[in-house]
Amino acid sequence: MSKETPQSEQPPKKLSPEQFSHVCDSLVDYQISPDLFNYVNEALENNRFVAFLLTHQSYFDIEVCRYICEHVNQGRENPINLFLEYSSPAVGKNIGNLLVKRKEIYDNCHLIMLGVVRGSDKKHEKYKDLITQKMIDESDVNDKLYNEKTSQGRCIAFIPFEATLHSGRINKETGKRNGMKKVTNNPKLIQAIRQKAIIVPFGIDGSYKIVDAEEHELSNLFYEAIFTKNPKKVVTAKIGQPIDLLLPEYKGIPTRELYERVTLKVAGLVSREAQGDYQQYLAV
């Protein structure tokens, strides 16, 4: 983020919550088949659990999830809740004020934000001292709610494949931006596979250009877009073919192999630079 124009308001006071959403969406190239939402709605009618497995480069990814929520619930008489777990200490420290200001918008589109305290938070130098007993208590309640709802079916959850901001940060050794880090034990993904969920690969690439992954502030691109009729799309949000783990072709395949398959599908939806550890597996 350029330091020439310090931005103190997140979001800017002159923007209504709806205008803020519009500016966010104007910067994203949503590459989503029109049939995707029909497919998801049909799956929900059949009481299936649908898990959007997404990359994670910055907190702007939440706004992309909000866009999906709005479209899933568009025209619905009985809206569906979509769940997203997040790190309470990390988000509270880095974008707590922004999250509070956006809460009404998230509530209206039924994006249910569930704060949790992960094992990695308890070891993190930056966050471990921020953890309170209240956070821990809420984490237990929220995780229980997540598990209960996803196990019942007729539910959607967003599962960030990386629970860190690794892929959105500049590598101090190389000077380049990190790509995806290979994570071999994402508990929520393993859980979704064992529940025979429908996995929707979702590659979000470039979100660090809007909310800096280091400073956690809105970039000048966001502020420029407020006054630009058709701003340049700097974030790509691409959804791949849904993977229905109840289909016969997946029967008998070990959880570990399915885990590898679906994560490769996600990595294949982002730029080569953003693929990071997965480049070697996706090389033509």
Q: Domain limits of the chain?
A: 17-282
Predicted pLDDT of residue 269: 97
Distance, in Å, from the CA atom of 34 to the CA atom of 86, rounded to the nearest integer, reads: 29
Predicted pLDDT of residue 14: 78
The torsion of the CA quartet 271, 55, 69, 35, rounded to 10 degrees, works out to 50
Please tell me whether residue 47 adopts helix, strand or coil conformation.
Answer: coil
17-282 topology per CATH: Glycerol-3-phosphate (1)-acyltransferase (3.40.1130)
CB under 8 Å to 155, separation ≥6 — which residues? 44, 49, 50, 80, 81, 83, 149
Distance, in Å, from the CA atom of 240 to the CA atom of 199, rounded to the nearest integer, reads: 10
**250's tokens:** 């997946």
Let me know the angle formed at the C-alpha of 156 by 257 and 267, rounded to the nearest 5 degrees: 40
pLDDT-derived band at 11, boundaries 50, 70, 90:
low
Which tens digit of pLDDT belongs to each residue from 220-272?
999 999 999 999 999 999 999 999 999 999 999 999 999 999 999 999 999 99
**71's tokens:** 């479209």
**Position 167 pLDDT exceeds 90:** no
DSSP state at residue 273: H
Given a contact cutoff of 8 angstroms between Cβ atoms, the answer to whether 69 and 83 are in contact is no
pLDDT-derived band at 219, boundaries 50, 70, 90:
very high
Predicted pLDDT of residue 165: 74
User: Cβ of 176: how many Cβ atoms within 10 Å?
Assistant: 9
**15's tokens:** 């923007």
CB under 8 Å to 253, separation ≥6 — which residues? none
State the pairing for strand pair 49-54/198-205: parallel
Given a contact cutoff of 8 angstroms between Cβ atoms, the answer to whether 73 and 222 are in contact is no
User: Cβ of 282: how many Cβ atoms within 10 Å?
Assistant: 12
Largest CA distance in the chain: 57
**Position 168 pLDDT exceeds 50:** yes
**Position 6 pLDDT exceeds 60:** no
pLDDT-derived band at 12, boundaries 50, 70, 90:
low
Percent of the chain with pLDDT over 70: 95
Q: Which of 17, 18, 2, 75 lies closest to 224, judged by CA?
A: 2
Which tens digit of pLDDT belongs to each residue from 65-78?
999 999 999 999 99
Mean pLDDT of 263-283: 93
Distance, in Å, from the CA atom of 2 to the CA atom of 12, rounded to the nearest integer, reads: 17
Percent of the chain with pLDDT over 90: 84
Packed helices 17-26 and 88-108: angle between N→C axes, nearest 10 degrees: 100
Amino acid at 231: P
Which tens digit of pLDDT belongs to each residue from 125-156?
999 999 999 999 999 999 999 999 999 999 99
**Average of per-residue pLDDT values in the chain:** 92
Residues of the chain by 3-state class (helix, strand, coil), percent to 5:
45, 15, 40
